[in-house]
């Protein structure tokens, strides 16, 4: 049992260091595991004999406006956020207990530190002293407990946080289990779990985990902008623009801890889903930074006087049949033969080439990436167009026309065009429907056959729990399999990644055998921005931190 005293080094960290030295663990995997168990990034680097990356001196000068190209999506309760863009705007005033860094480490933000017991059934979370809300209330452990209770409410439709913290919920009452949350004092919260949960810290860093004030009523957070961050929302026009302005009436706690928050104004500008318009906007000087550079436009942007940032990631696109969907009075995708036929008709190598210009690595139709600590190698996905047609005929669906829906967004459109072409080459019937962002994001979970962009999560079990566990709010496939759920629960309780990967191999195989998804590739991601912009580097989870953004040296006139 852990104590409330001085944080210790979890015993598993020494074992991870030995695995790193033996070559069975990558440095990134070591850093992710060690910091998730409460070791600071500096200590984690020191354990393996490396100096932590030097904190970059704050280069940004005060003031100025920065303009960022990004979709402006309808805002809602943060625990319901299902697109990264919502969080990137909300981070102006809503902050997180933990931040996931590009090097794989977890950094405390509103938390000062945390401690985990040996079997990951108890977490002691220490709130950073001196943090205040912009209404001058002090942030307390009780406020953190309040957010846990909000996240754990399974009755709120679309609340994916309830699935991330399922083992603290008493589903008979819909409330947090008795004895789970103990406010030890103003800055200490003990979280006691009935079974291990290795993903708790990683889930605290995910974008729906923004910390809200106890007075927040669940409505549009822009209308109740009480937060701990340095900015305030000034304007938010759907599909047009969102504007943050520096909160000059309140001193931001992070200034002395992490520096930054130098800009007067940040404008997020929506240029639609055609990357050609993004290119035109930055070339004309209308924006200073892109949300993401994609496809053939990357090479064009490289020729301009811009800075390019790259992240190797577990970001991906999933093309999935919805097993719940009804089409013409029948449910075509409940039949595993139909799902497997769609999968077998597609070559993931070709989809990577045609859909993403080979700027990534081929995936294997199971949504667990080689950079995930518990990844299991089960071989490549099978490509057999003849068997695909035979299975579709056997299912009596050879004359069924599949409608493949996608967002009109560069690589997503191109990848789905390539999927449709391969389905037709295999003798299957398919038509394409392409929708603008404003239409697609409102109904992304309900299409019968469609594609969705999925952002990276630090752990493979996180992804599987969010996307494929029975009954989860983000389970867009409609997949429900008792064996899968049982195996996932086992994996979530195993702290050692090597042991977890044994279970993961069966989970991966099950997803593929059931034809749940076509998941063709893992994306390297890119971002271009103007010389002089600071803090704009591409994050593997598309996170933009307003407090890090700024202008170095001379900046353009506002």
Residue 483 makes CB contacts below 8 A (sequence gap 6+) with 510
Residue 546 maps to a domain: no
Q: What percentage of the chain reaches a pLDDT higher than 90?
A: 73
Quickly state the pLDDT bin for 13 (edges 50, 70, 90): confident
154 plus 33 within the same structural domain:
yes
339 plus 487 within the same structural domain:
yes
357 plus 472 within the same structural domain:
yes
Residue 310 makes CB contacts below 8 A (sequence gap 6+) with 524, 525, 526, 538
Q: Print the SS3 string covering 33-58.
A: HHHHCCCCHHHHHHHCCCCCCCCCCC
pLDDT value of position 173: 84
> Residue 237: is its pLDDT beyond 90?
yes
> Residue 16: is its pLDDT beyond 80?
no
351 plus 464 within the same structural domain:
yes
194 plus 319 within the same structural domain:
no
Residue 330 maps to a domain: yes
Query: Any idea what the CATH number is for the domain that residue 104 is in?
Result: 3.90.76.10
pLDDT value of position 60: 63
* CA 413, 405, 363, 538 torsion-angle sign: positive
Residue 529 maps to a domain: no
The per-residue pLDDT for range 336-378, each reduced to its tens digit, is: 999 999 999 999 999 999 999 998 999 999 999 998 989 999 9
Q: Which residues face 406 on adjacent strands?
A: 434
194 plus 328 within the same structural domain:
no
Domain count, the chain: 2
**Mean pLDDT, the chain, whole residue set:** 91
187 plus 321 within the same structural domain:
no
Residue 284 maps to a domain: no
Residue 35 maps to a domain: yes
173 plus 40 within the same structural domain:
yes
**CA–CA gap between residue 71 and residue 359 (Å, rounded):** 23
Residue 174 maps to a domain: yes
205 plus 319 within the same structural domain:
no
Q: Are 151 and 72 in contact (CB under 8 A)?
A: no
pLDDT value of position 8: 65
Q: How many CB atoms lie within 10 A of CB 550?
A: 26
What angle is formed at CA 315 by the lines to CA 314 and CA 317, rounded to 5 degrees?
Answer: 125
Q: Residue 319: in which H helix or E strand, if any?
A: strand 306-321
Domain-terminating residue out of 166, 188, 209:
209
Task: Provide mean pLDDT across the span 182-203.
Answer: 94
342 plus 204 within the same structural domain:
no
Domain-terminating residue out of 147, 180, 209:
209
**CA–CA gap between residue 553 and residue 276 (Å, rounded):** 30
Q: Are 289 and 533 in contact (CB under 8 A)?
A: yes
Query: Any idea what the CATH number is for the domain that residue 443 is in?
Result: 3.10.105.10
320 plus 456 within the same structural domain:
yes
**CA–CA gap between residue 328 and residue 155 (Å, rounded):** 31
Residue 234 maps to a domain: no
Poorest-pLDDT segment among 167-176, 211-220, 350-359:
167-176
> Residue 235: is its pLDDT beyond 60?
yes
**CA–CA gap between residue 156 and residue 151 (Å, rounded):** 9
> Residue 58: is its pLDDT beyond 80?
no
The per-residue pLDDT for range 78-117, each reduced to its tens digit, is: 999 999 999 999 999 999 999 999 888 899 999 999 999 9
48 plus 188 within the same structural domain:
yes
Domain-terminating residue out of 191, 209, 227:
209
pLDDT value of position 56: 47
**CA–CA gap between residue 191 and residue 181 (Å, rounded):** 5
322: number of CA atoms within 13 Å, CB side?
Answer: 21
Q: Are 278 and 295 in contact (CB under 8 A)?
A: no
> Residue 557: is its pLDDT beyond 70?
no
DSSP string, 242-311: EEEEE-TTS--GGGTTT-----SEEEEE---S-HHHHHHHHHTTS-SEES-B-TTHHHHHHTSSEEEEEE
Q: What domain range is 412 assigned to?
A: 313-523
What angle is formed at CA 510 by the lines to CA 398 and CA 453, rounded to 5 degrees?
Answer: 75
pLDDT value of position 28: 76
Task: Provide mean pLDDT across the span 145-160.
Answer: 92
> Residue 57: is its pLDDT beyond 90?
no
Q: Are 69 and 269 in contact (CB under 8 A)?
A: yes
Cα 108 off chain centre by: 18
Residue 239 maps to a domain: no
The per-residue pLDDT for range 119-136, each reduced to its tens digit, is: 889 999 999 999 999 999
């Amino acid at each position: 049992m852990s104590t409330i005293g001085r944080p210790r080094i979890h015993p598993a960290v020494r074992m991870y260091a030995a695995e790193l030295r033996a070559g069975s663990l990558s440095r990134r995997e070591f850093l992710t595991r060690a910091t998730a168990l409460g070791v600071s990034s500096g200590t984690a680097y020191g354990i393996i004999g490396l100096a932590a990356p030097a904190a970059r001196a704050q280069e940004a000068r005060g003031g100025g406006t920065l303009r960022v190209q990004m979709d402006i999506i309808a805002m809602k309760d943060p625990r319901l956020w299902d697109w990264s863009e919502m969080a990137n705007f909300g981070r102006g005033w809503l902050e997180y207990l933990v931040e996931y860094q590009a090097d794989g480490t977890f950094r405390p933000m509103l938390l000062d530190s945390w401690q985990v017991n040996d079997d990951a059934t108890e977490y002691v979370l220490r709130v950073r002293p001196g943090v205040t809300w912009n209404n001058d209330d002090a942030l307390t452990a009780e406020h953190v407990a309040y957010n846990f209770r909000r996240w754990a409410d399974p009755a709120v439709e679309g609340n994916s946080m309830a699935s991330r913290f399922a083992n603290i919920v008493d589903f008979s009452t819909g409330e947090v289990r008795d004895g789970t949350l103990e406010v030890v004092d103003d800055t200490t919260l003990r979280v006691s779990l009935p079974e291990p949960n290795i993903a708790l810290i990683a889930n605290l860093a995910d974008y729906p985990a923004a910390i809200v004030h106890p007075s927040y009523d669940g409505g549009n957070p822009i209308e109740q902008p009480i937060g701990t961050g340095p900015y305030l929302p000034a304007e938010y026009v759907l599909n047009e623009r969102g504007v943050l302005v520096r909160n000059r009436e309140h001193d931001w706690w992070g200034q002395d801890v992490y520096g930054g928050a130098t800009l007067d104004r940040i404008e997020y500008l929506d240029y639609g889903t055609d990357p050609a318009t993004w290119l035109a906007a930055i070339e004309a000087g209308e924006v200073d930074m892109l949300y993401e550079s994609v496809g053939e436009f990357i090479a064009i942007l490289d020729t301009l006087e811009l800075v390019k940032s790259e992240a190797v990631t577990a970001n991906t696109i999933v093309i999935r049949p919805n097993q719940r969907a009804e089409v013409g009075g029948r449910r075509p995708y409940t039949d595993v033969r139909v799902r497997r036929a769609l999968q077998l008709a597609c070559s993931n190598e070709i989809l990577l080439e045609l859909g993403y210009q080979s700027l990534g690595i081929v995936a294997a139709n199971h949504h667990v990436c080689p950079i995930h600590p518990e990844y299991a190698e089960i071989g490549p996905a099978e490509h057999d167009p003849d068997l695909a047609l035979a299975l579709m005929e056997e299912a009596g669906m050879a004359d069924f026309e599949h409608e493949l829906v996608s967002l009109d967004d560069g690589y997503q459109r191109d990848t789905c065009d390539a999927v449709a072409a391969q389905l037709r080459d295999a003798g299957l019937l398919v038509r394409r429907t392409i929708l603008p962002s404003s239409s697609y994001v409102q109904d992304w979970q309900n299409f019968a056959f469609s594609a969705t962009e999925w952002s990276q999560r630090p752990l493979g079990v996180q992804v599987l729990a969010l996307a494929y566990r029975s009954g989860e709010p983000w389970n867009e496939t409609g997949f429900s399999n008792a064996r899968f759920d049982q195996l996932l629960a086992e994996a979530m309780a195993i702290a050692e990644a090597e042991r977890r990967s044994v279970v993961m191999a069966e989970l991966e195989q099950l997803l593929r055998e059931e034809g749940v998804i076509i998941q063709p590739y893992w994306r390297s991601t890119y971002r271009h921005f103007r010389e002089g912009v600071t803090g704009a580097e591409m994050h593997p989870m598309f996170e933009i931190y307003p407090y890090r953004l700024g202008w170095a040296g001379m900046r353009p006139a506002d």
